[in-house]
A and B are shown apart, each in its own frame.
Chain A
C-alpha cells in the first residue's frame, strides 16, 4: 500500500540541528516530486520545501532558505530534510507529501503521519 513514514523529530535547543527522514513505499518513488510541509501548534499548513523527482530542482520557503536542505535518495526510496540553525518558530509537526505533476499541478495526494519537532531551551 502507498505509504510515507516520517522520522527524526524530537526536542532540540535553539541553534541546533535535526535531520528528518521520510520513507516511501508502495509506489515508484523516483517518479514523483516531493514536498515538506509543516504545521505549528494550533496553526495552519505552511509549505517548507519541494524537490523534483531527480533532485535537480529544489525550492524553499523564504522562512527556511539558507537553514534547511532538502534531499532525496531514490535508491533508498527516501526523502530528507536537514534543518540547521533551528529557531523556536520552527516548532511544528513536519509532514512529507507526494506531489503530483510539475509545480504541483495535481496536488499532494499522499501524506505521512508527521513527525514533531520542538525547538526549546
Chain B
C-alpha cells in the first residue's frame, strides 16, 4: 500500500517560514492535498491539487509537489498557524485515500 511520510514535528519562530514535507514514491505524479487541524476541531483544507488555495485561506499558505516530495510552505508564520498538518493523496493502485502521519507545527 502507498505510504506518505511526514516529519512528526516542525518548529518555527513567528514571522519566519515553515516548510512541512510529505514523502511518497513518485508523489509528483499524484494530486496532493493538505489539511490543518487545530485541537478539538475538524480538519480544514488549506491546499488542494498540489498548490491551489481554497477561498478564505491566506496567501501565506502555498504548496509544491515534485519527484518524491510534496511541500507545504507557510510564510510569515503566526501563532494562529500552530496546528497539526496532514497531507493526503488518492492511491489509484488500491483505490484508497491515504493520509500522511501528520506534522505538529509549533510556533516558538
Asked whether B44 lies within 8 Å of A45 as measured between CB atoms, the reply is: no
How far apart sit A46 and B97, CA to CA, in the bound complex (Å)?
Answer: 9
Q: How far is the CB of A40 from chain B (nearest CB, A)?
A: 12
Pick the interface stretch among A12-20, A71-79, A81-89, A100-108: A100-108
Q: Return the contact of A95 from the options B43, B95, B100 (Cβ within 8 A).
A: B43
How far apart sit A71 and B40, CA to CA, in the bound complex (Å)?
Answer: 27
Residue of A nearest to B33 (CB): A107
Main SS at interface, chain B: strand
Asked whether B43 lies within 8 Å of A111 as measured between CB atoms, the reply is: yes
Band of interface residues on B: 20 to 34
Q: How far is the CB of A37 from chain B (nearest CB, A)?
A: 8
Q: Is B101 an interface residue (CB 8 A)?
A: yes
Residue of B nearest to A50 (CB): B97
Question: For B48, what are the chain A residues with a Cβ–Cβ distance below 8 Å?
Answer: 100, 106-107, 109
Given contacts A105-B49, A106-B31, A107-B48, contact A44 B101 (CB under 8 A): yes
How far apart sit A72 and B84, CA to CA, in the bound complex (Å)?
Answer: 30
Given contacts A44-B86, A45-B43, A47-B99, 11 further A-B contacts (CB under 8 A): A45-B102, A47-B88, A47-B96, A62-B96, A106-B31, A106-B52, A107-B33, A107-B45, A108-B33, A108-B35, A111-B43
Q: Return the contact of B99 from the options A44, A106, A111 (Cβ within 8 A).
A: A44
Residue of A nearest to B101 (CB): A44
Asked whether A109 lies within 8 Å of B43 as measured between CB atoms, the reply is: no
User: Can you name 5 A-B residue pairings with CB atoms under 8 Å?
Assistant: A44-B100, A61-B96, A103-B95, A104-B89, A107-B33
Q: When each residue 107-121 of chain A gets 1 if its CB lies under 8 Å from chain B and 0 otherwise, what string results?
A: 111011110000000
Q: 6 smallest A-B Cβ distances: which pairs?
A: A107-B33, A47-B97, A107-B48, A111-B42, A44-B102, A103-B90
Given contacts A44-B86, A45-B86, contact A109 B99 (CB under 8 A): no
Asked whether A105 lies within 8 Å of B31 as measured between CB atoms, the reply is: yes
